[in-house]
């Protein structure tokens, strides 16, 4: 009975809802209207990405095996859960946040590397640093950089091969399920791209370059649908300070200690996602080259 009480049932319920909605979208709605099925599948794919983030931080149960099983289905097709887990936990070494050499999730490049890039690639990556660019190009650019990084690292890091060896048969299962459904594979590919684009809204400015590691993570005081989609990870400085706290407990924790968190992160604060869209939809927030690093490759 004590073990049952320790299970975070809101997260378990959300897993079941998300997989149910995903199944409904590809099997039922796809026959009714692809115009409805694709966006609803995309939202469920993005929701699963947020739930995978919960799972790798030890939720919703005390069993790593059970959490992994819940988060395992590769609805995005392109991101192995074990690789997401490994790289994200490496990302949580806060002293290295945003460092282009140490942080596997950074969007910054080293200044020397940036200087050597062709002008066309510089223009593409600069466009990717606007919110519109991140939505339109971010899934493709992020996937290419992720695959390129894993390809370079697989000999030196045994976790890479392990993650992909487990991922490939799981992808085959998801593709077979979609193949058996009324949703065409091309439509599912669109849903995957849109789902990954939605997640790019969260990652767009969740970290900034700053001399102090504690001031590198954002707080976005949004309580709307995007905050729910991202499972309150918009309170990102709170999450980095307390990565073991479940998503549904983050808002209350923030409200109780708001001034402390804002002092900790140096006031890196936005009131809402609508504010971010207004300010950065067509404008870059950061340079691509990290302003605080200048080491050579």
The dihedrals phi and psi of 207, each to the nearest 5 degrees, come to -135, 145
**Looking at the predicted structure, is the pLDDT value of residue 147 above 60?**
yes
pLDDT at 4: 52
Q: Predicted confidence band at 133 (pLDDT cuts at 50, 70, 90)?
A: very high
**Looking at the predicted structure, is the pLDDT value of residue 194 above 70?**
yes
Lowest mean pLDDT segment, chosen from 13-22, 143-152, 216-225 = 143-152
Q: Predicted confidence band at 71 (pLDDT cuts at 50, 70, 90)?
A: very high
45-63 pLDDT per residue, tens: 999 999 999 999 999 999 9
Rounded mean pLDDT, 102-126: 93
pLDDT at 1: 40
């Amino acid at each position: 009975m004590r073990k049952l009480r320790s299970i975070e049932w809101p997260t378990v319920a959300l897993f079941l809802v998300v997989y149910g909605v995903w199944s409904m979208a590809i099997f039922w709605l796809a026959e009714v209207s692809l115009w409805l099925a694709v966006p609803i599948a995309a939202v469920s794919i993005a929701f699963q990405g947020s739930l995978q983030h919960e799972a790798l931080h030890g939720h919703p149960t005390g069993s790593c095996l059970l959490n992994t099983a819940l988060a395992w289905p590769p609805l995005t097709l392109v991101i192995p859960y074990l690789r997401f887990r490994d790289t994200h936990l490496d990302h949580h070494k806060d002293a290295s946040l945003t460092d282009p050499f140490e942080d596997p999730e950074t969007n910054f490049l080293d200044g020397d590397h940036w200087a050597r890039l062709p002008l066309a690639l510089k223009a593409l990556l600069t466009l990717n640093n606007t919110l519109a660019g991140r939505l339109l190009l971010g899934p493709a650019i992020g996937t290419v950089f992720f695959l390129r990084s894993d390809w370079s690292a697989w000999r030196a890091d045994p976790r890479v091969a392990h993650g992909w060896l487990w991922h490939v048969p799981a992808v085959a299962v998801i593709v077979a399920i979609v193949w058996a459904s009324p949703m065409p594979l091309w439509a599912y590919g669109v849903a995957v791209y849109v789902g990954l684009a939605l997640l790019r809204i969260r990652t767009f400015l969740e970290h900034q370059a700053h001399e102090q590691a504690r001031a590198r993570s954002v707080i976005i005081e949004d309580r709307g649908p995007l905050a729910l989609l991202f499972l309150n990870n918009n309170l990102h400085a709170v999450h980095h300070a307390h990565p073991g706290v479940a998503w549904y407990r983050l808002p209350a924790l923030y409200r109780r200690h708001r001034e402390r968190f804002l002092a900790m992160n140096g006031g890196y604060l936005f009131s809402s996602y609508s504010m971010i869209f207004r300010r950065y939809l067509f404008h870059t927030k950061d340079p691509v080259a990290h302003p605080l690093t200048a080491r050579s490759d």
